[in-house]
Amino acid sequence: MPAFDLLICDCDGVLVDSEIISHRVLFDALTRYVPAETLEPLLKDTFGLTVPVILEQIEREFGLGIPASFDDDLRAESEARVKAEVEPIPGAREALLAIDLPLAVASNSRRHNVLSSLERAGLTERVAGNLFSADMVTHPKPAPDVYLLAAERMGMAPSRCLVVEDSTTGATAALAAGMTVLGFTGASHIQPGHDRILKALGVRDTFDDMARLPALVAELRG
C-alpha cells in the first residue's frame, strides 16, 4: 500500500508567492512605531505567523501599545495587495495535477483569502473545497490544529498525510500533528540556508522547484 493517502499543502509561499507581499505591507506599517533598521531583523523569522502573534511579539519587545485598529487596517491593505499582485508559484499547478492523491490546503490565512489565492493559482477545482484555514480553529500554526482538522475532515490518519510547507511555523505545526513534511524553499521570501533550518526541525526533504514534487511524492509512496 502507498505510504500516504492525502497530500496537504500550505498556501502562502507554497501555492502562491504571497508572503513577500504581506511582509512588505507589514514592515511598512510597523515602521510608524519601530525604526526600520531595528524592525527588519525582528521580522526576519516571522513568515508563516498570524499578524496578531507578530504584533504581540513587537509590543512585548518594545513596550508598545499598538492601536486596536492596526490589525484590521493592515489586513485590509494586505489582502488588497495580495489579491492584486500575487503570482502563482511556478509549476505548482502542473505538479499537483500530476499527483494522484487527494489534495487539501491548510493555511494560516483566512478562508476567503485562500479561496482567492487558489483561484489565482488555477487550483480551485483540484482542491475541490478541501480547504482548512486559521479562522476554522482556535489555535493557528505553529499549533497543529489546522492540520489535525484537515486530517479529521478528510477521514485520514495524520500518519498517512504528507505535507508541503515553506515556513518553520507551518512545518512545526504539521510535524506536531504527526505528519511527514516536505519543505519547499522556492518562494521569493526564502533566505539562503532555510533548507538547513527546515531539516533541523525534522522535515523529510527540501526542494526549491515544484517540478520535483511529483517525483518526491512517488519516491515516498514507495
For the whole model, what pTM was predicted? Answer: 0.88
Distance between CA atoms of 74 and 80, rounded to whole angstroms?
10
Mean pLDDT of 172-194: 96
Q: Give the model's confidence band at 1: pLDDT under 50 very low, under 70 low, under 90 confident, else very high.
A: very low
Cβ–Cβ < 8 Å for 43, 23: yes
Q: What is the mean pLDDT of the chain?
A: 93
Q: Give the model's confidence band at 79: pLDDT under 50 very low, under 70 low, under 90 confident, else very high.
A: confident
**pLDDT one-digit tens code per residue, 199-218:** 999 999 999 999 999 999 99
Q: Give the model's confidence band at 42: pLDDT under 50 very low, under 70 low, under 90 confident, else very high.
A: confident
Cβ–Cβ < 8 Å for 134, 146: yes
Burial class of residue 220 in the structure, from the number of CB atoms within 10 Å of its CB (0-12 exposed, 13-18 middle, 19+ buried): middle
What pLDDT score was predicted for residue 167?
94
What pLDDT score was predicted for residue 14?
98
